[in-house]
């Protein structure tokens, strides 16, 4: 099972070596050595980081590095497009630097260290033994060697541009990170995009003095309403996610053909132009592969293979004073650190909630819904609960605190006989939360 979990990481590493090996064809050995060393260092560093920092901090740090790399790739792709559409001359010093041994080593180390850290932190909960770790290190070195050997088998005409190399390596890292819930970047990105779009549209309407929704037709407002829906978060994030690869594709497609007007033999001119067109097409292959890999990362993020702890809600009822009393050690043990779901029905209305003991030892009672998304509920994974609707991970330490996609807290009292919750308050809180999220968000799964 662990070997299966590690397989995508090794495939990513092999892909990185393959692409770097072709991009720095003159420095294959440097790339292979740096990738092996960097990967092992990354695994060691990531492992130490997760052991040293409690909670989500280590994961946040590693995710931050991947995010920063993605931002850098965005810049590189934008510069590539800018240069391909510009009238200015190429900068030979930049190209010389890009083809140097130093650059090859730097890129290989950068990519492999991150890949190693992602692998170590993504499998931090697997409890690998020393023997397994050594086996894994050996497997990584074998993967690097195999990829380096495989690269030589690729056709010579298959070239990788510096920009194409960067987006493909970045795509492989994103793919690697999206295989772990706590390292995934796509889900948080969708939430950020949704928030930005909401704020931007609101500001735009205010700035441009656009009237309130009561004056619009239903059809117009439903179009505008899309900008406030969860769909805009997904599609906006997808655009941002795939944009670097598409920018590089555009950059290669818009590259000007070499000047051939000085050649007086028509056949030679056509030959040169045809060669340039063929080379341009071949350089499009890697960014196109990057698009596919990024698509795979999105799929992993949307449909993770992780199994969540998601117990069936137990039906509870209120006593004569309208209080729901749940014993701490009754049908379920509320203090076992697991999420326990309950269902309360009253006069045709119902509310789903859960009780959980947080890592600090305190109990928390929350609705099985948040104030933003549709009430699809939460599941528990290692160190976090996840909102099934938007896939946002909420660290266990923050469950019980209101705001964002956190579960909506419900007032309760812990007495000797168990947890006491006001039934009417619970029903009303659920009603107002679910009504508002369904009204505002509209769409849904």
| Residue of the chain from 92, 157, 218, 303 that contacts another protein (CB under 8 A) | 218
According to DSSP, the residues that pair with 341 across neighbouring strands are 354
| Residue of the chain from 131, 208, 267, 416 that contacts another protein (CB under 8 A) | 208
**C-alpha triplet 279, 284, 288: angle, nearest 5°:** 160
CA dist., res. 85 & res. 251, Å (int): 7
| Residue of the chain from 2, 7, 57, 75 that contacts another protein (CB under 8 A) | 75
**C-alpha triplet 10, 12, 14: angle, nearest 5°:** 70
CB 321 within 8 A of CB 423: no
Q: How far is the CB of 1 from another protein (least distance, A)?
A: 36
Rg (CA), the chain: 27
262 binds another protein (CB under 8 A): yes
Q: Which stretch binds another protein (CB under 8 A): 254-262, 331-339, 354-362, 421-429?
A: 254-262
Q: Which stretch binds another protein (CB under 8 A): 179-187, 193-201, 332-340, 406-414?
A: 193-201
131 or 209: whose CB is closer to another protein?
A: 209
Query: Where are the extended beta strands (E) located within 237-337?
Result: 314-316, 323-326
What's the Cα-to-Cα distance from 146 to each of 38, 49, 113, 286, 421, rounded to whole Å? 17, 29, 19, 19, 61
436 binds another protein (CB under 8 A): no
According to DSSP, the residues that pair with 355 across neighbouring strands are 340, 365
414 binds another protein (CB under 8 A): no
264 binds another protein (CB under 8 A): yes
Q: What is the DSSP string of 43-68?
A: HHHHHHHHHHS-TTHHHHHHHHHHHH
| Residue of the chain from 92, 155, 266, 361 that contacts another protein (CB under 8 A) | 266
Q: How far is the CB of 257 from another protein (least distance, A)?
A: 8
199 or 335: whose CB is closer to another protein?
A: 199
363 binds another protein (CB under 8 A): no
Residue whose C-alpha is closest to residue 172's, from 19, 1, 5: 19
The binding site for another protein (CB under 8 A) comprises 71, 75, 78, 82, 86-88, 192, 195-196, 199-200, 203, 207-212, 214-220, 256-257, 259-262, 264, 266, 269, 404
């Amino acid at each position: 099972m662990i070997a299966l979990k590690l397989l995508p990481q090794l495939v990513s590493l092999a892909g990185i070596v393959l692409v770097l090996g072709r991009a720095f064809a003159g420095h294959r050995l440097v790339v292979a050595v740096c990738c092996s060393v960097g990967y092992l260092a990354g695994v060691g560093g990531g492992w130490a980081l997760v052991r040293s920092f409690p909670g989500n901090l280590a994961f946040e740090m590693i995710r931050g590095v991947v995010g920063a790399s993605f931002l850098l790739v965005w810049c590189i792709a934008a510069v590539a497009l800018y240069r391909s559409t510009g009238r200015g001359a190429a900068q030979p010093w930049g190209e010389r630097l890009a083809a140097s041994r130093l650059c090859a080593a730097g890129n290989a180390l950068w990519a492999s260290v991150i890949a190693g850290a992602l692998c170590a932190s993504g499998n931090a909960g697997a409890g690998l033994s020393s023997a397994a770790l050594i086996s894994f290190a050996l497997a990584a070195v074998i993967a690097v060697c195999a990829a380096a050997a495989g690269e030589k088998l690729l056709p010579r005409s298959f070239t990788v541009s510096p920009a194409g190399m960067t987006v493909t390596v970045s795509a492989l890292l994103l793919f690697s990170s999206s295989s772990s819930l706590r390292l995934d970047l796509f889900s948080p990105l969708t939430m950020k995009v949704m928030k930005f779009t909401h704020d931007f549209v609101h500001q735009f309407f205010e700035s441009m003095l656009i009237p309130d929704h009561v004056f619009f037709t239903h059809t117009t407002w439903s179009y505008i309403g899309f900008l406030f829906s969860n769909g805009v978060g997904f599609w906006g994030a997808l655009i941002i996610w795939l944009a670097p690869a598409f920018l590089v594709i555009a950059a290669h497609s818009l590259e000007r053909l070499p000047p051939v007007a000085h050649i007086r033999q028509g056949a030679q001119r056509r030959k040169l132009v045809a060669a340039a067109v063929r080379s341009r097409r071949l350089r499009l292959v890697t960014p196109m592969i990057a698009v596919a890999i990024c698509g795979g990362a999105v799929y992993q993020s949307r449909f993770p293979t992780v199994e969540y702890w998601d117990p069936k809600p137990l039906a509870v009822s209120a006593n004569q004073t309208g209080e729901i009393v749940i014993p701490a050690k009754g049908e379920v043990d509320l203090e076992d650190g697991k999420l326990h779901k309950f269902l309360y029905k009253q006069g045709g209305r119902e509310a789903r909630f859960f009780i959980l003991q947080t890592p600090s030892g305190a109990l928390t009672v929350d609705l099985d819904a948040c104030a933003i998304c549709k009430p699809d509920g939460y599941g528990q994974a290692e160190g976090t609960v996840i909102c099934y609707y938007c896939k946002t991970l909420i660290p266990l330490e923050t469950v019980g605190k209101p705001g964002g996609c956190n579960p909506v807290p419900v007032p309760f009292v812990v007495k000797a006989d168990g947890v006491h919750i006001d039934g009417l308050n619970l029903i009303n809180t659920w009603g107002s939360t679910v009504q508002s999220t369904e009204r505002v968000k509209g769409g849904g799964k």
